[in-house]
């Protein structure tokens, strides 16, 4: 059951929502579309890299049922607390840049708001409960946007 829920989450977020953006959009000029696909590629790379770091350094995966057993503060987690959410929003933004869609804009904005609310209402509280050092880490490292 846990695996099925994780698979469903992956299918919805990484396949159905992107296909909705692409299918409701209008392709833009080649240079703009290329820029969008570069952003998509960076988002996918960041998601994959962040997931690997979570697996190898945290002993878990980016799913509720397979959460890491240790606080992950290496790799992209050195620069921001939630690189996977940034990666996903970059992925969607890149699709939107390459394939303009009003539906996609609504999805990006709505999902972005849901992510922010979810992180600050639920996930960060859970991280504070599970990891003693999270509070200190959160004071030093920004949530979504890496700062100099």
DSSP codes joined into one string, 71-103? ---SGGGGT-S-HHHHHHHHHHHHHHHHEE-HH
Does 123 reside within a domain? yes
Residue 97: per-residue pLDDT: 93
Tell me: the pLDDT tens digits for 41-79?
Answer: 999 999 999 999 999 999 999 998 899 999 999 999 999
Q: Has residue 69 been placed in a domain?
A: yes
The answer to whether residue 23 sits within a structural domain is no
3-state secondary structure of 9: helix
> What value, to the nearest 5°, has the Cα angle with vertex 12 and ends 10 and 16?
125
Range of the domain at 88: 29-140
Question: What is the pLDDT at residue 64?
Answer: 84
Residue 145 resides in a domain: no
Residue 148 has pLDDT above 80, yes or no: no
Among the listed residues 116, 114, 108, the one whose alpha carbon sits nearest the alpha carbon of residue 91: 108
The whole-number pLDDT of residue 36 equals: 95
Other Cβ atoms within 10 Å of 46 Cβ, number:
20
Given this model, what pLDDT does residue 65 score? 87
Q: What is the pTM of this model?
A: 0.92
**How many CB atoms are closer than 10 A to CB 28?**
16
Domain assignment present for residue 43? The answer is: yes
Instruction: Give the Cα separation of 7 and 130 in Å (integer).
Output: 25
Mean pLDDT for all residues in the chain: 93
The string of pLDDT tens digits covering residues 80-112 is: 999 999 999 999 999 999 999 899 999 999 999
Total domains in the fold of the chain: 1
């Amino acid at each position: 059951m846990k695996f099925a829920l994780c698979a469903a989450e992956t299918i919805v977020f990484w396949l159905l929502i992107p296909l909705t953006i692409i299918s409701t959009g209008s392709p833009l000029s080649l240079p703009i579309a290329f820029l969008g696909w570069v952003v998509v590629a960076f988002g996918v790379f960041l998601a994959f890299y962040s997931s690997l770091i979570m697996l190898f350094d945290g002993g878990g995966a980016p799913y509720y049922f397979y959460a890491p057993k240790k606080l992950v503060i290496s790799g992209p987690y050195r620069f921001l607390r939630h690189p996977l959410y940034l990666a996903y929003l970059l992925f969607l933004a890149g699709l939107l840049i390459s394939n303009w869609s009003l539906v996609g804009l609504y999805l990006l904005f709505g999902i972005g708001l849901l992510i922010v609310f979810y992180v600050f209402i639920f996930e960060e509280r859970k991280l504070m409960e599970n990891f003693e050092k999270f509070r200190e880490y959160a004071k030093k490292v920004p949530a979504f946007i890496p700062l100099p």
